[in-house]
Every structure is written in C-alpha cells, then in structure tokens.
Amino acid sequence: MIYPENHHSFLLISLGILFVLPLLSITGELVFEHESPTWMLVGKWFVFWTTGIRLFTAGISQSSNPAFTARIFKMKTQESYIVIRELGFANISLGVMGILSVINDHWRILAAITGSLFFGLAGIQHLFKKPDSTNEMIAMIGDLFVFIILLSYLISAVFNN
C-alpha cells in the first residue's frame, strides 16, 4: 500500500484494506448476490484486498519510491534501493495474483497460500524484531491478522473439497 509516515493515516489505510473493504465486499455479495456466509466468500474478498490490493499498492510504492521504504527500515545508503525495488516487483507480482484470484477459485487457493506465507513470515519477523514504531506495530498486527484469516480460509477450502 502507499505507506504514509503519519501513523494515523497508516492506521486508517490499514483498517480500510484489512477490514472495511473486505467486509463491505462480503456484505455486498451477501445482500445483492444472496450468497451464503462461508469461508469461501470470506477468502475470496480477503485474498483480493489483502494479498491483491495491499501487496500490489505496496509494490508500486516500493518500486517507484524506494527511499521511503529505506527510511522505514533505517537504511542509510542508496545501494538498498535496488533490493527495495526488487521487493516491490515481488509484491506487485503477488498482488496481481491476488487481484486476479477474484475471478478463479483455483488461483485464489494459490494466492491464499503465497499470501498466508508472506504475511505469516512477515508477522513473525515483526514479533522477533519487536516493533519500535506505531506503524511497525500496526503492520505486525495487520500481518498476523491476515495470516490467521487466510490460513482459516485455506483450512476450510481443504476440508470442504
């Protein structure tokens, strides 16, 4: 996502992408498409918004403005920009898979697997590092929340097939 330095803005954007937009999408399908409230429906929209939109926009930000990400991680030299841009490209790629998963259940499973791995590992890394800013704490909680939702979706998908 486009990462604002102000933790209030970061919190609002995070809440929007991690909670509000998926819940609005789920509610829209429940109301207008008369879908049943299942983990399949929850997974569809959480994969789209969290693995898709969140990682895609983060990747755009990282590849177009690596200096911002360098400041977050307290990297002082421009040599880090190449690695940050490549991280951005990886996030764009994962994000595209998450976005396209909204039209194909099989892609959704793959996007959920890669997304849950990414968010789970990132969340664990945050735990071991012990966040030293409000934005890092928000990111850690968000990463672990997404990991739990995607893992729940995957468990449901395995046992419902």
- The 10s digit of each residue's pLDDT in 101-153 is 999 988 999 999 999 999 999 999 989 988 777 778 888 999 999 999 999 99
Q: Which domain holds residue 49?
A: 7-159
pLDDT of residue 161: 65
**Cα–Cα separations (whole angstroms), residue 25 to 62, 77, 95, 96, 114:** 27, 41, 18, 18, 22
Least confident stretch, 41-45, 60-64, 68-72: 68-72
**Is 2 within the bounds of a domain?**
no
**Is 1 within the bounds of a domain?**
no
**Is 116 within the bounds of a domain?**
yes
How many independent structural domains does the chain possess?
1
**Is 67 within the bounds of a domain?**
yes
Q: What is the pTM of this model?
A: 0.89
